[in-house]
Structure 1
């Protein structure tokens, strides 16, 4: 059995416990010793983080190989159209390469959404809209770059789920403890990303070199 902690990170909080520039950090909200984030969340993004003191579990949750989907609520600048939604679903090409296909659909503003401090700046003549976007990658500022690539810059970004864990009933700045049992190992194995043919070929070549 291992404990994890679900934390709803507020806006403009670093996803670490110290900061040399004096910005707000996890230590302003979390007083539990010897736990660490399993993955990061941008300073200007909000929502779910998972922390644990179990190093192996931390790796299992955060490593891209284990393919835990992450779902975001995204407020974008403009009334996003079907063409942009289709492009996000298919995968868009960024500077560091194409993204994997994503699960995307329009949503109304979530009813359990909290006010952001400071609030998003709105332009009276330009509407905004919301989407739910689920990805299985974790590139730097990926969601923001994806929506910008299809012509709809992100105004507000909230991570709502990681795998089966969500921010339901968790207010900004709140933390909740959960116990993870053997079922997570089965879940992880079932959802682990299978190696590609080129990766299998590379492993075979490596083994041959080591044996020669």
Structure 2
């Protein structure tokens, strides 16, 4: 029986452990689809147009943005990035689940353009623990860490409108919660719009 796909949108402050949790989710559920984004930056070595990104001119991107082409878009380091809406909708209609690792600004746009999406926010146990993790990575300067902590405070204020909140106090426990949220999302009536009708018409056993 045909199933409608899930758009799973995950956000978190830097250092909350989002990348680790998403990697585990992809490892267990490798069927997640990938939406090819559009960008105005130049291709890097080995990147292919249409596979890694759709590489567009800024003028084309801005025209398409004005026409409502993107589910979400952002400007990063002077380059524009955007997720095409209609290809994404087609993937979901065909039963393909799509995972978004995205910041709160992009998630807010997806909330408006893709109302059937499921939104999940990864929280650190505390801001002091977040600061400890950022220092522990040994990747950033003190100035960068201070900026990341300021950004985290801003991002945390957006967390209450997400569908699920997961505190990453222990990576195994946090992953169990993430997994449960994803599985629960696949059980929504939206994902199986024909299920009840099939039961009513006595076709469920035949379609199995």
Q: TM-score, normalised by structure 1?
A: 0.26
* More helix per residue: 2
Q: TM-score, normalised by structure 2?
A: 0.26
